[in-house]
Structure 1
Amino acid sequence: MQKKWPHGLDWDRLQEKFSRLFGHHPITELRKFSGAQQLYFQNDRRNIDAILQEPILTNSGNTIALSSFIHYQLDQTPQYITADKSGPYFSISLDQNIPERTSAQRKILAWANQHGFTARFSGTYFEGIQNFYSILKIFLISILLLYFILALQFENLIQPILVMLTIPLGVAGALVLLYLQQGSLDVMAAIGFVVVLGIIVDDPILKVEVINRLFKTYESEGISRLQALEKAIHDAGDICLKPLLMTSLTTSLALVPVLFTPGIGSDLQKPMVYIIIGGLTMGTFFTTWFIPLAYWFITKKK
């Protein structure tokens, strides 16, 4: 016994119509020795309003539209449910470039506390900030350790400061180049600062060490203090110029191909390359001219 529907419809005919409209109507079978595979009719996906205008044949031979007895209502449901140990939660994705991000976070936290919820912020943006501050701490600790090591090497508390003055100058040059190239100050840029810290102090350390040795040698030969100082600075400049230029040029030129290499990997490394090239360029310039003048200004007063 078939179930009767309004307008003279029966269930079988209605089911066949729905199968054709929504792409699950069997057409035929492909028979093989191992079995049979059912083939289904697949209809193009259309708007639901267009589908409801499809006619259907009644038992009396008349046709009526599906919309005459089928109605629908749109509703929103979660595509998936996320949960952890504390239970289900709703995850909201925000653009990291939205203005007034900090005030938006405060508003979300205030609303969550007011309604008894717990709000946490996570994602690549917040992980990047955390990693950046971690590398910044490493950078500051490295500067402190560098000062103590140089103080032991030079047996002097002022000369390490003289060497470390090239660090802010190099950082300034790195930031200028990064700004001109519209690079981002991210984790890779912070790694570049650590690399610059390790390389940029090599040249002033070498120059100060050579000046100290030549200054002691010339003083032991009976030359006056001021003349020995000027001669030591001049000779140390001639001795250290080639190593200084070779160190900076080889490091900078080796990184230039990264700037012209396409791909995601090179795009991520470009901020680091800008930092290293800018820092070494500015550091080399000031090491060549600033360190000898500062050494002469400090030592002549003793």
Structure 2
Amino acid sequence: MEEESSMILTIKQQELLRYGISPSQIISQLERVLGNYKISELKQFAIITPIVLETDQKAFAELLKTAKVRNSEGKSYALRNFVEYEWGNRLKKISADVSGSYFSINLTEDVVQPNSEELISDIDQWANQNSLIQKISGRYFSDQENLKELVFILFISVVLLYFILSAQFESFWQPLIVIFTLPFGIMGAMIVLWIGGSSINIMSAIGMVVMLGIMVNDAILKVDTMNRNLKALEKKDKESVYEAVFSAGKIRLKPILMTSITTLLALSPVLLSGGLGAELQKPLVLAVMGGLTIGTFTALYFVPLVYFQVQKF
């Protein structure tokens, strides 16, 4: 909160009633004494700055002595009889939105995380001491809730993916090969996000979901191709499995590389452009590029290797 040194004026209501003077007269006279003569305004969008002509600098107490105010009977009285003043610190500005006025607090990097119980407790204590009602909200907290929902949806999707692939491959272990590629993609996305100076937020989480979809598709096609080759050989010995894996590698190499390279090239212009839109999309692009780079090597090497090691027995 920004504060500034201010003069705090208090109008004596009882004295006004005793002498028959209205508060508007006092305010009007104070504006004259303080030199608040408005000439014009400077308008810039929604900001209006008044242009004020100041009077000569004199002792404020002397001004209150010399300034007079008249009541309804025409009698004049010194302004100091109706005003009390003191110096103190007051808020420089008040922020407000549709929910009402609020006080902003700037958190520095050396404080605890905004979602910790310690900081929330400190804010509650500060609000109670100042007779305020506090509500902690903002983009950070809404993003945290959205991330939790996204993680839960991703978990449900992985479970459904396992059951669907189990029915398609007619196997309980082959879908695990596909699912075990997902952590590698997430790890690659996090590494690239860290290198690029981005954090895990809604945009990067969406990028991970997109990247995992591409990775799963490559792994599924690779496993399906190896199953078809092995079935065509009508043998399941070690040599037949090796031949099926080797043949599937040659068949699926170009499609996997083309999918990955075209996706990476299509996203690369976002990293080279500037502006607000590019900054918002940068975490998404980094997550997709990092995960897809690791995912490509996973589909080309990890999936065939695990398939061969399990299927040969």
TM-score, normalised via structure 1 length:
0.72
Residues 1:243 and 2:276 are matched in the alignment: no
2:184 to 146, 169, 173: 169
1:73 to 86, 89, 93: 86
Task: Check the 8 A contact 1:96/1:125 in 2, yes or no.
Answer: no
Change (3 A) 1:229 1:118: same
Change (3 A) 1:89 1:20: closer
Residues 1:140 and 2:155 are matched in the alignment: yes
Where in structure 2 are the equivalents of 1:35-184 lying within 5 Å?
43=52, 50=57, 72-75=85-88, 76=90, 79=94, 91-95=103-107, 97=109, 99-101=111-113, 102=116, 103-109=118-124, 119-184=134-199
Task: Check the 8 A contact 1:19/1:25 in 2, yes or no.
Answer: no
Instruction: Count the aligned residue pairs.
Output: 256
Change (3 A) 1:274 1:218: same
Task: Check the 8 A contact 1:20/1:43 in 2, yes or no.
Answer: no
Counterpart amino acid of 2:254? K
Matched residue SS, 2:86: coil
Counterpart amino acid of 1:297? Q
2:271 to 259, 264, 268: 259
Q: Distance in 1 between matches of 2:269 and 2:145?
A: 30
Q: Kindly state the Cα deviation for residue 91 of structure 1 after the two structures are TM-superposed.
A: 4.4
Residues 1:283 and 2:295 are matched in the alignment: yes
Change (3 A) 1:217 1:25: closer
Task: Check the 8 A contact 2:260/2:293 in 1, yes or no.
Answer: yes
Matched residue SS, 1:99: coil
Larger deviation: 238-247 or 123-132?
123-132
Task: Give deviations 1:31-56, integer Å, cap 9, x for gaps.
Answer: xxxxxxxxxxx54569xx94658x99
TM-score, normalised via structure 2 length:
0.70
Structure number having the greater strand percentage: 2
Aligned identity (percent) is 37
Task: Check the 8 A contact 1:82/1:91 in 2, yes or no.
Answer: no
5+ unaligned residues in a row in structure 1: which ranges? Answer: 1-10, 27-41, 59-67
Q: Kindly state the Cα deviation for residue 18 of structure 1 after the two structures are TM-superposed.
A: 3.0
Task: Check the 8 A contact 1:21/1:51 in 2, yes or no.
Answer: no
- Tell me the equivalent position of 2:69: none
Residues 1:198 and 2:213 are matched in the alignment: yes
- Tell me the equivalent position of 1:22: 36
Change (3 A) 1:50 1:259: farther
Task: Check the 8 A contact 1:259/1:270 in 2, yes or no.
Answer: yes
Counterpart amino acid of 1:277? M
Task: Check the 8 A contact 1:162/1:291 in 2, yes or no.
Answer: yes
- Tell me the equivalent position of 2:76: none
Matched residue SS, 1:127: helix
Task: Give deviations 1:56-110, integer Å, cap 9, x for gaps.
Answer: 9x9xxxxxxxxx99995345367477896xxx88544343755213121133346
Change (3 A) 1:128 1:97: farther
Matched residue SS, 1:73: strand
Structure with the greater alpha carbon radius of gyration: 1
